[in-house]
Amino acid sequence: MFDCHVHAAPDVLDRIGDDSDIAAHYVDFGCTGFVLKGHYESTVGRAHALSRSSGLRVVGGITLNQAAGGVNPAAVAATLTAGGRVVWMPTADAHTQQRAGLPRLCDQDPRLDRGVFAVPPVDPTAAAAAELVLALIADHDAVLATGHLSGPECAWLLDRARHYGIRRVLLTHPSYTVPGLSPNDIRELSQAGGVVEITAYQLLHQPNCPPALLAEVARAAGGGLVLSSDAGQPNSPPPPEALGRLVDSLDRAGVDRGLLDAAASTVPAELFLI
């Protein structure tokens, strides 16, 4: 397996273990590697160190929340030049996150700015910065991940990604609470070139999200499907175990097992690795 979405300590939120603990789980499960995600810092240095110490292929990147300066080309340029492989659009500081009442860093300290981030068509003033971010992603043949942005923003990103020749676009858990897209919306975005992510976190923790609904999303994605754990929480199983549960649950829900196995291994590895 290659898990394209996992969290580890140190982090703002409690995690099941630190980087080395998480890597040990993947080694024990015989996985080839994973993508280390942080909502509030670049994970490039941590991923590099883990690759050397564990023998796994560990990938890092940056999420464009307030701590990174939002949709900030300078932060993206630094991350990708240092070896980062993925840029996530805003997540915890996306406008969708605030509207859904989901956790944000500013919830922990009232002195922090509660501003949110968006891209066109929600925020046309962000176009210039977002365009430069996309150009940088194209220059480095990196992965554009849509974060928690809304459906119209995902459609805009896919259109501009085609303009810049970006070959790797991940629709970050589009059926999760944020952005909360329908299977029909997801099918359209998949047909426009986005690879659709389904996470074990959705199976384990998302309200009103039974395996049958996730199976419908998997079918809407067609061959452009990746499965990830999005795990690392103290109330979730070890990430590779969580990912295995997702594969088995979708199998029991009637999704082709060969498609699922590829979506948890070769498809994400080809998406993120060079």
Spell out the domains of the chain, with CATH numbers in brackets.
2-272 (3.20.20.140)
User: Which pTM value belongs to this model?
Assistant: 0.98
Whether pLDDT at 222 is above 90: no
Strand partners, 198: 227
pLDDT tens profile 243-268: 999 999 999 999 999 999 999 999 99
Please state, in angstroms and rounded to a whole number, the distance separating the CA atoms of residues 160 and 32: 32
Tell whether the model's pLDDT for residue 161 goes beyond 90.
yes
DSSP code, position 90: P
The label of the residue with tokens 């070769």 reads 266
> What is the Cα–Cα distance from 262 to 45, expressed in whole angstroms?
28
pLDDT, position 274: 80
